[in-house]
Each structure stands twice: as C-alpha cells, then as structure tokens.
Amino acid sequence: NAGVTQTPKFQVLKTGQSMTLQCAQDMNHNSMYWYRQDPGMGLRLIYYSASEGTTDKGEVPNGYNVSRLNKREFSLRLESAAPSQTSVYFCASIHPGQQEAFFGQGTRLTVV
Amino acid sequence: ELKVEQNPLFLSMQEGKNYTIYCNYSTTSDRLYWYRQDPGKSLESLFVLLSNGAVKQEGRLMASLDTKARLSTLHITAAVHDLSATYFCAVEILSGTYKYIFGTGTRLKVLA
C-alpha cells in the first residue's frame, strides 16, 4: 500500500522553465491538496481538489496551475518558474471520514 | 481570513520536563489536527480532534480542543529526546468546500 506518491523528489529549474509535479494516491480519497513549505512559514495551501473534476485556490495560488486528472492523480504545474517558488512541495490526500491528511514524501524544488 | 497561530515557534527543553504548545485559530471550526515532522521528512498524523472538549493521548503527548476558545493544546509530559521534531496543528474550515489550513509549526528540541 503506497499511500501518497510524489514525483520527482528533487528538481532544479532555471528561471522561466516549466515543470509539473505529480501526485498519486491509492487510498480512494476524494480530497487532495498541494502545499508549499518554507522556513518559518509552516505549510501554505496552494490549491486543493474536493473531488474529481473540481479544483479551488488556496492561500498562495499565483504562479501555479493544477489538474485533477482522475480520482487518483492531482498534478501541480509551474508554467514559468521564479526563484520565489523555491520551496518544498507536499501533496496530501484527505481521509473522507476523519478528514485526517496523508502526505507524500515531498518535492524539494530549487529555482535558480 | 483564517489565521492559525502556534506558540511558541521554537522550544528547547530538558529531558524529563513538561511543556505545552498552543494552537489558536481565528474562525469557527470543530475539527483540529496535530502532525509531527522530522527534519527532511514528511508529516505524519498524531491526533484527530473532532469536537469541543476532545482529548486524545498517545504516550507522552496529549492533545485537547476547546472550540469555544478556538484553542488547542499539545501537552508534553516528561520529554525525551525522541520527541524532538516540528509539530503542526491544522484546522479544517468550511469555505464552499472543506479546506485544511496549517499553523506555522513549533520546532521542539529536547536536550539530553
């Protein structure tokens, strides 16, 4: 049982490049989230998806787009990466009963 | 705008001592969660608190929720080095759909 799987684990981008962070869960959860974690700022919500086919903005959506491809997968895209997007990105899926979050291992992204 | 504030942000304590971490939030919610993060790792769930007055205990950690005061506490009893980690609270609010917002985290260091 893999839980929540994120790829890649590490990535270095040049300013202006684009990339997609992938997230997949095998727990049949409806809700999935993307967060970024920066030192001293906790986890900030970028986008979330309450169910397949729906997405909503979180606290810091600017510079990102998301796709909820199906119930399992929720991807995060940076169209034109900026140094301010250097961060650790976490994907989470939410248990439908207790609403407990299960996290992926994170993607450490550096934009130079 | 929902704010979730934790204090202290940093805590250094001696083994064997007791201490409490506080989590305050600014809007109505009946659901609060505590997570632990070890350095360079992902987040793992500690406690799920789903109603006013809820109290959960696991080993040397005990969490409680007062929804009227919009306050949750994480109490550490007789700290040991293995408890060194960053602890996050998260609040679930209903804003169209349910949304999961994290506090800034409390970095705990237990000194031998």
pLDDT in tens, B38-83: 999 999 999 999 888 999 999 999 999 999 999 999 999 999 999 9
Nearest Cα of chain A lies from the Cα of B15 at a distance, in angstroms, of: 25
Question: How close are the terminal C-alpha atoms of chain B, in Å?
Answer: 41
**Residues in CB range of A108: below 8 A, 6 or more apart:** A9, A10, A11, A88
pLDDT value of residue B93: 83
Q: Which residue of B has its CA nearest to A59?
A: B101
Q: Which residue of B has its CA nearest to A36?
A: B102
Report whether pLDDT(B1) > 90: no
- The arithmetic mean of pLDDT across residues B13-35, rounded, is 93
Report whether pLDDT(A1) > 70: no
Distance from C-alpha of B99 to C-alpha of A43, rounded to nearest angstrom: 13
**Residues B74-105 pLDDT 10s:** 999 999 999 999 999 999 887 767 788 999 99
Cβ separation A45–B42 shorter than 8 A: no
**Residues in CB range of B15: below 8 A, 6 or more apart:** B78, B79, B80, B81, B110, B111, B112
pLDDT value of residue A95: 82
Nearest Cα of chain A lies from the Cα of B30 at a distance, in angstroms, of: 12
Q: Which one of A41, A45, A98 has the shortest CB-CB distance to B100?
A: A45
Q: Which one of A43, A59, A106 has the shortest CB-CB distance to B88?
A: A43
φ, ψ at A84 (rounded to 5°): -65, -10
- The arithmetic mean of pLDDT across residues A79-107, rounded, is 92
**Residues A31-59 pLDDT 10s:** 999 999 998 788 999 999 999 999 999 99
Confidence band (pLDDT; 50, 70, 90) for A102? Answer: very high
Report whether pLDDT(A110) > 70: yes
Cβ separation A99–B31 shorter than 8 A: yes
Residue B103: list chain A partners with CB under 8 A: 42
Report whether pLDDT(A99) > 90: no
